[in-house]
Amino acid sequence: MNSVAKFVIVMGVSGSGKTETARRLATATHSAWLDADDHHPAENVEHMRRGLPLNDEMRWPWLDALCKVAIATRNEIAATAGNNARPGQPTPPIFIACSALKRRYRDFLRTHLGPQLVFVFLEGPRDLILDRMNNRAGHFMPSALLDSQLGDLEPLGPDEDPLTVSIIAPLDDIVWQVLDDLTAREAQQNRTENSVPPGQKSTSKGG
Ligand SMILES: Nc1ncnc2c1ncn2[C@@H]1O[C@H](COP(=O)(O)OP(=O)(O)OP(=O)(O)O)[C@@H](O)[C@H]1O
Ligand SMILES: O=C(O)[C@H](O)[C@@H](O)[C@H](O)[C@H](O)CO
């Protein structure tokens, strides 16, 4: 499948379905996935557990740690793929569940993870998200923090090559919408590359 993206970040507020979506995307493509929640410093998790929203200062070290893990994972996969060399077989992207609420966080992720990064924004009504948060068990994030999450949220702008998906749809539909879009991006990239005269081909596509 798609090789335009090295990383696909599933973003949105708490409870919008990032974890489930990223996990299912990875299963469908036999790829890896990461949950950004696993890379918060312990103080951040404790802060949220107590019902307090994170601020920028608390989010920067977390995003930095996440980038390091994402790059290490990508390198590990590339090394393994190299050992099993299957020529012409592109490496699927790593799927990452990460809130990435603000534009400046996404710019940081772009700077550190490179341009082959696609953001998928899970968009939905507050009441539906609240309901899903209240009905899931064993998560540290209190639903009382949803409004601060919505307050911080800066949806993808038109210049961010946005892929926005409604979370009203069942998870399987969301997964297929994302995969269809990634495939379309891949086809578009191939068309663009094939329209470039030989000798001037872009080298930006990598594995
Ligand atoms: N499209 C959907 N239809 C039905 N249930 C969903 C859908 N998306 C997510 N859910 C359910 O909603 C709950 C919240 O989803 P999930 O934990 O994946 O959200 P999240 O964005 O990762 O939240 P957090 O950032 O707090 O970890 C889960 O119980 C999940 O199974
Ligand atoms: O940016 C943030 O405020 C945090 O990442 C939160 O989004 C939580 O980590 C997550 O939503 C809870 O699971």
CATH superfamily of 7-194: P-loop containing nucleotide triphosphate hydrolases (3.40.50.300)
100: Cβ contacts below 8 Å, ≥ 6 apart? 9, 11, 106, 109, 119
Whose Cα sits closest to atom 4 in ligand 1?
170
Locate tokens 């297929």: which residue? 176
Q: DSSP string spanning 83-97?
A: HT--TT-PPPPEEEE
pLDDT number for residue 78? 87
Which mean pLDDT values do the consecutive 10-residue runs of the chain (207 residues) have? Answer: 80 98 97 98 97 98 98 92 62 95 98 97 98 96 97 97 97 98 91 75 48
pLDDT number for residue 84? 58
pLDDT number for residue 201? 56
Ligand 2 pocket mutation, candidates 10, 18, 48, criterion most atoms within 8 A of CB: 48
Residue 99 CB less than 6 A away from ligand 2: yes
Per 3-state DSSP, the chain is made up of helix, strand and coil in percentages (nearest 5) of: 55, 10, 35
Please tell me the number of the ligand nearest to residue 40's CA: 2
Length of the chain: 207
Quote the DSSP letter at residue 186: H
- Which sequence spans correspond to the domains of the chain? 7-194
Whose Cα sits closest to atom 1 in ligand 2?
99
